[in-house]
Amino acid sequence: MKKWLLTMLFATALMLGACGGGGDSGGESTGGDEGGSTTDSAAAEEIFESNCASCHGADLSGGNGPDLTAVGADYSSDEIADIIQNGKGSMPAQENVSEGDAQTLADWLAEKK
């Protein structure tokens, strides 16, 4: 009986510790810059899927367009936004992507290094 009670207490403490630890960490990142970038990442991924994935691949690995998995190592966020809005090489300007969406997407892609 004591072993069972001790086991249950340990299991409860373990579960609460795991849940509490994840909540605390998530609370800190939500309050900081990372919390904003998580939301922006979701928006950027949606923008990418709608406008870019057909050429650059759903996983950024390329296809008709170049591989973007490490594009942030070559270009800054501002340079990427400029490429999205004005085109480069065989890539045409993306007139259907708003300036705000282009910046959200560029910030997300610039993190890919």
The full set of domains in the chain, from first to last, is 41-113 (1.10.760.10)
Check the annotation: does 55 bind a ligand.
yes
Give the pLDDT of residue 25.
41
Kindly give, in sequence order, each residue whose CB lies less than 8 Å from that of residue 77, ignoring residues fewer than 6 positions away.
Answer: 103, 106, 107, 109, 110
pLDDT tens string 28-42: 333 344 444 444 899
Check the annotation: does 19 bind a ligand.
no
pLDDT tens string 54-112: 999 999 999 999 999 999 999 999 999 999 999 999 999 999 999 999 999 999 999 99
Check the annotation: does 52 bind a ligand.
yes
- Residue 54 CA to residue 58 CA, distance in Å, equals 7
Phi, psi of 11 (to 5 degrees): -65, -40
In Å, the largest CA–CA distance within the chain is 74
Rounded to whole angstroms, what are the CA distances from 1 to 13, 15, 87? 18, 21, 72
How many other β-carbons are positioned within 10 Å of the β-carbon of residue 103? 19
Check the annotation: does 91 bind a ligand.
yes
The answer, as to whether pTM is greater than 0.75, is no
- Residue 19 CA to residue 59 CA, distance in Å, equals 31
